[in-house]
Amino acid sequence: MRIVIGGAAGFDDVPVLRELADRHDVAFAPDDAALAEHLPTAEVFVSWTFRGSGLERHWPLARRLRWVHWCGAGVRPALFGDLVASDVVLTNARGVFDRAMAEYVLGTILAFALRLPAALEEQRHRRWTYRHSERLEGTTAVVVGVGAIGRRVGELLAAAGVTVHGIGRTARETDTVFGRVHGRDDRVTLLGRADWVVAVMPDTPGTEGWFGADEFGAMKPTARFVNVGRGSTVVERDLVEALRDGRIAGAALDVVAEEPLPADSPLWTLPGVILTPHMSGDYEGFEDDLCRQFLRLLAQDEAGVAPDNVVDKQAGYVPGS
């Protein structure tokens, strides 16, 4: 089988995949020129970079391609018209990042509750300032996006004594994590109850700008907002105004609309904001786990079984995630 790995220069970049060389014809496409050279013979294309691979530019060359594996949870860069309209199967990295991202959410919520940003600031100034902290037990979180990652977030927060509510694409009356899942029509009521609002939504046309002035206006002035989904789901100017005007108490943002965040963004200096560079799922060793996942999906394909994590290309996500 001819497998082309885009965004990697060789097996030194993906050592766990070295075993492929024994039974498959593997080529690497670290740049545009290499991709144009190897894509015409590719049956399987692995995009090692989740932000984009040049595949759309060179799609007319992909004459033998039958499967694209995207090494990320979000697949928006892969959902260009020609691929969506084709019979090419698209899979993603669902499942690799769930636990790490849930731990990030719990960690940032704990940082807010324990007032760690204020403590670190006082430490920098060598000030011994006594303060109270907050208890998580008895607080309420609303998780927007109840796929695999959102469900793991709900489980961890519930284990810490937080009451969790979920908002999904469609409402359902029973759910093992959230009790029930609410639809978008319930968002104003639910957001008004929340101490913590966690966004775990993918980047799709249906989620763009989901959080705006109405949503932030519905939240309590003591509430904090955590976004580990995609920056496109938030109207950033509305978030900035809500923070600046004290309509919400803080935000932990692992994703923003423009990445890297521009140096002149007000988010850098607004009080109550924790910023991280899109790394909530990137734990030590995650690259090896991505490789192991692809090997497992490849083994399914070789056995004639449809691989896990097949993306609904019209919807932009794996059904059930």
One digit per residue, pLDDT tens: the chain, 321 residues? 999 999 999 999 999 999 999 999 999 999 999 999 999 999 999 999 987 779 999 999 999 999 999 999 999 999 999 999 999 999 999 999 999 999 999 999 999 999 999 999 999 999 999 999 999 999 999 999 999 999 999 999 999 999 999 999 999 999 999 999 999 999 999 999 999 999 999 999 999 999 999 999 999 999 999 999 999 999 999 999 999 999 999 999 999 999 999 999 999 999 999 999 999 999 999 999 999 999 999 999 999 999 999 999 999 999 976
Q: Which of 230, 236, 247, 287 is catalytic?
A: 230
| Number of structural domains the chain divides into | 2
Instruction: Give Cα 124 to chain centroid, integer Å.
Output: 32
Residues 109, 61 share a domain:
no
Residues 297, 246 share a domain:
no
Residues 108, 9 share a domain:
no
80 lies in some domain = yes
Residues 34, 68 share a domain:
yes
Q: What is the DSSP string of 253-278?
A: ES--SSSSPPTT-GGGT-TTEEE--S
CATH number at residue 211: 3.40.50.720
Q: How many CB atoms lie within 10 A of CB 110?
A: 14
259 tagged catalytic? yes
Q: Which of 121, 208, 259, 302 is catalytic?
A: 259
Residues 254, 122 share a domain:
yes
Residues 219, 108 share a domain:
yes
Residues 238, 111 share a domain:
yes
Q: CA 104, 139, 239: angle at the middle one, nearest 5?
A: 60
Q: Which of 69, 182, 224, 278 is catalytic?
A: 278
Residue 193 sits in which domain range? 98-275
pLDDT, position 50: 80
173 lies in some domain = yes
Task: Give the full edge-to-edge strand order of the sheet including 273-275.
Answer: 172-175, 179-182, 163-167, 140-144, 196-199, 224-227, 250-253, 273-275
> What's the token pair of residue 250?
């803080």
230 tagged catalytic? yes
319 lies in some domain = no
316 lies in some domain = no
pLDDT, position 321: 64
92 lies in some domain = yes
Query: Which long-range contacts link 157-160 to residues 24+ away (Cβ below 8 Å)?
Result: 157/105, 157/106, 157/109, 157/196, 157/198, 160/106, 160/136
Residues 237, 216 share a domain:
yes
pLDDT, position 51: 78
Residues 20, 88 share a domain:
yes
311 lies in some domain = no
Residues 126, 34 share a domain:
no
